[in-house]
Amino acid sequence: MYIQEAHASDVWQMESNVKQHIAISSPRSADERAAVADSCVRNLHIAIPALLDDFRNTTEVAYTGWPDRLYAIGRDGRVAYKSGPGPFGFHPKELEAALARLASGTGDRVLNSFGETAP
């Protein structure tokens, strides 16, 4: 899910973005956000389907996605795993274990990196 730009040049430009010649200002419309998301998917070679949050940031607000998080969704459509805020809150082995449990059918609810049951 592509949510609001985490490091927009007109809000919080990261030094690493400057070094990489990445300067993205905050999109002013849904079409601009879609163009930025498309550029992100292409430049990062993302091979999985990407969705776009609406311009009111409904998904970001509901799931505290900023700046980024990893989620696994169970067969019941509910959140089965939620990482801490990224990138430092990402624990790929936890996500891998959650996905393995979901794939095997041994559990739709798993703990996140904080020892909490995911909402």
pLDDT for residue 119: 45
Q: Between vectors from CA 87 to CA 86 and to CA 92, what angle results, nearest 5°?
A: 95
Domain ranges of the chain: 15-63, 68-119
Question: Given a cut of 60, is residue 9 above it in pLDDT?
Answer: no
> Whole-angstrom distance between the N-terminal and C-terminal Cα of the chain?
18
3-state DSSP assignment of residue 117:
strand
3-state DSSP assignment of residue 18:
helix
pLDDT in tens, 45-89: 988 888 888 988 898 888 887 777 888 888 888 888 888 887 788
Share of the chain above pLDDT 90, in %: 1
**47, amino acid identity:** A
Question: Given a cut of 50, is residue 101 above it in pLDDT?
Answer: yes
Unique residue bearing structure tokens 């990138």: 87
